[in-house]
Amino acid sequence: MKFLIPVLLAVLLVNCKRPFPKATKVEKPVAKPASAPKVAPPNYIKLIDVYVPLKFDTLQVFSSSNLDSIGYKYRGVQLDSTNAKVLGSNWQNIENYYANFKFDIDEYKVGLITRVPSMYESSSITLFIYDKNKKTLIEKLELAENWGDAGAVFEKRSWLFRDSKGRLKCLLHQSYYYDPKVNDEDASTAVDENNDYLINLQHSVTDTVDRNAKVLFNKMKRLR
């Protein structure tokens, strides 16, 4: 027993000299940010397949006051929401896009004639241009429209045709009439405007060849 006490004291002294264990900080698990849902790229091929192939020498494009008539050439086929979004439609009017015709503008570009929402209804006939190399829609041009309201009447119609060199062009005629006397008997003279534009679609919808294409319009309107 005499020898046991010194041994126990020695063990206690050794343990006292050992550093007191420091408390370790518990790291809270960091939540990983939720990954953003993957957005599928626009499926242009699926969209283009809905359109009816069309070949023409001269094509007249016009709107109508009876858009749902079976006999109306540009009545079209209603696009589902997926295809409508590819055209850049907004959610408010997503159910009002109608595919009509597709045709080659040249070896790189495809034209898609589509009836889209306008001021009051889907009365705007618009040409969307798809670039095969860029694999995206690059431009759009309103070809036809028709509406009237409170003394105002607006009409736009166009003719698509190829010139002697095979280049696709668009003759666009736009008329606007407004009689202010409908709303005010003391109003001034009515407004009556007519404008004609010749656009080279081989280059860009902004490439206006001749803004005053009256001679060509007088020739084309006989085709009505």
At residue 211, the 3 state secondary structure works out as coil
Q: For residue range 45-72, what is the model confidence (pLDDT) as tens digits?
A: 999 999 999 999 999 999 999 999 999 9
Predicted confidence at residue 14, as pLDDT, reads 47
Domains of the chain, by residue range, sit at 44-223
SS3 sequence of 110-132? EEEEEEECCCCCCCEEEEEEEEC
Q: Convert the pLDDT of each residue in 189-206 to its tens digit.
A: 888 999 999 999 987 766
Give the model confidence (pLDDT) of 171-180 as tens digits.
999 999 988 8
Spatial distance between the Cα atoms of 142 and 178, rounded to a whole number of angstroms: 21
How far is it, in rounded angstroms, from Cα 122 to Cα 197? Answer: 23
What value does the mean pLDDT take over residues 83-104? 85
Residue 134 confidence (pLDDT): 94
* The residue type at 203: H
Pick the closest to residue 172 from 207, 148, 139 (CA basis): 207
- DSSP letter string over 141-191? EEEEEEEEETTEEEEEEEEEEE-TTS-EEEEEEEEEEE-GGGT-TT--PPE
**What tokens appear for 54 in the block?**
């069309």
Residue 89 has pLDDT above 50, yes or no: yes
